[in-house]
Structure 1
Amino acid sequence: MTSLVNDGPVALIGAGAVGLSLASALARTGRPVTICGGRDRVDRIAITEDGATQAWPVTQVGEAAKIAGHTSAIVAVKAHHTPAVAHWLRALARPEAVVLVAQNGVEHHERVQPHTGPARIIPGIVYLNAERTEPGHAILRRVGAVDIALPDDGQAAALAAELDAGGVRTSTEADLKTVAWAKLLTNITANPLTALTGRRAEVMRDPEIERVARLLMAEAVAVGRAEGAALTDAHIDRAMHWLRGVPAGATTSMHEDRIAGRKLEYDALNGAVVRIAERHGLDASANRFVLALLTAIEGGTAA
Structure 2
Amino acid sequence: MNQLASTGPVAVIGAGAIGLSLASALARTGRPITVCGGRTPIDHIEITEDGVPQSRPVRHVTDPAAIAEHTTAVVAVKAHHTPTAADWLRALARPEVTVLVAQNGVEHRERVLPYVGPARIVPSVVYLNVERTQPGHAILRRVGTHDVAVPDDADGVALAAELNAGGIRTSTEADFTTVAWAKLLTNITANPLTALTGRRAEVMRDPEIERIGRRIMAEAVEVGRADGAVLTDEHIDRAMHWLQHVPEGSTTSMREDRLAGRPLEHDALTGAVARAAERHGIDVPANRFVLALLSAIEPEVTA
CA contact (8 A) 1:80 1:265 kept: yes
Q: State the partner residue of 2:245.
A: 245
Deviations 1:261-302 (A, max 9, x none): 100000000011111101111011100000011011128xxx
Q: Which moved more, 1:155-164 or 1:84-93?
A: 155-164
SS at match of 2:267: coil
Q: State the partner residue of 2:232.
A: 232
Letter in 1 for 2:135: P
CA contact (8 A) 1:3 1:98 kept: no
Deviations 1:175-223 (A, max 9, x none): 0000000000000000000000000000001110000000000010000
Measured after TM superposition, the shift of residue 4 of structure 1 is 3.2
Q: State the partner residue of 2:166.
A: 166
Q: State the partner residue of 2:294.
A: 294
Alpha-carbon distance in structure 1 between the residues aligned to 2:96 and 2:297: 42
Q: State the partner residue of 1:222.
A: 222
Structure 2, unaligned runs of 5 or more: none
CA contact (8 A) 1:105 1:184 kept: yes
Alpha-carbon distance in structure 2 between the residues aligned to 1:213 and 1:238: 13
Q: Say yes or no: does 1:203 pair with 2:203.
A: yes
Alpha-carbon distance in structure 2 between the residues aligned to 1:111 and 1:196: 26
Alpha-carbon distance in structure 2 between the residues aligned to 1:3 and 1:246: 34
Alpha-carbon distance in structure 1 between the residues aligned to 2:88 and 2:35: 11
Q: State the partner residue of 1:42.
A: 42
Q: State the partner residue of 2:258.
A: 258
Structure 1, unaligned runs of 5 or more: none
Q: State the partner residue of 1:25.
A: 25
SS at match of 2:268: coil
Q: State the partner residue of 1:274.
A: 274
Given the two structures, how large is their TM-score scaled by the length of structure 2?
0.98
Alpha-carbon distance in structure 2 between the residues aligned to 1:158 and 1:164: 10
SS at match of 1:104: coil
Alpha-carbon distance in structure 2 between the residues aligned to 1:6 and 1:71: 9
Letter in 1 for 2:30: G
Aligned residues: 299
Deviations 1:82-134 (A, max 9, x none): 00001100000000000000000000000001100000000010000000000
Measured after TM superposition, the shift of residue 158 of structure 1 is 1.3
Letter in 2 for 1:3: Q
Q: What percentage of residue pairs aligned between the two structures are identical?
A: 74
Alpha-carbon distance in structure 2 between the residues aligned to 1:3 and 1:192: 38
Q: Say yes or no: does 1:132 pair with 2:132.
A: yes
CA contact (8 A) 2:120 2:155 kept: no
Measured after TM superposition, the shift of residue 260 of structure 1 is 0.6
Letter in 2 for 1:289: F
Alpha-carbon distance in structure 2 between the residues aligned to 1:90 and 1:259: 32
Letter in 1 for 2:232: T
Q: State the partner residue of 2:149.
A: 149
Letter in 2 for 1:37: G
CA contact (8 A) 1:5 1:159 kept: no
Alpha-carbon distance in structure 2 between the residues aligned to 1:189 and 1:75: 24
SS at match of 2:181: helix
Alpha-carbon distance in structure 2 between the residues aligned to 1:24 and 1:292: 37
Alpha-carbon distance in structure 2 between the residues aligned to 1:220 and 1:4: 36
CA contact (8 A) 1:41 1:60 kept: yes
Alpha-carbon distance in structure 1 between the residues aligned to 2:159 and 2:207: 40
SS at match of 1:248: coil
CA contact (8 A) 1:270 1:287 kept: yes
Alpha-carbon distance in structure 2 between the residues aligned to 1:277 and 1:205: 28
CA contact (8 A) 2:7 2:30 kept: no
Given the two structures, how large is their TM-score scaled by the length of structure 1?
0.98
Measured after TM superposition, the shift of residue 7 of structure 1 is 3.9
Alpha-carbon distance in structure 2 between the residues aligned to 1:196 and 1:4: 42
Deviations 1:132-191 (A, max 9, x none): 000001000001010000101222111111111111001100000000000000000000
Q: Which moved more, 1:241-250 or 1:149-158?
A: 149-158
1:58-207 alignment runs, 5 A limit: 58-207=58-207
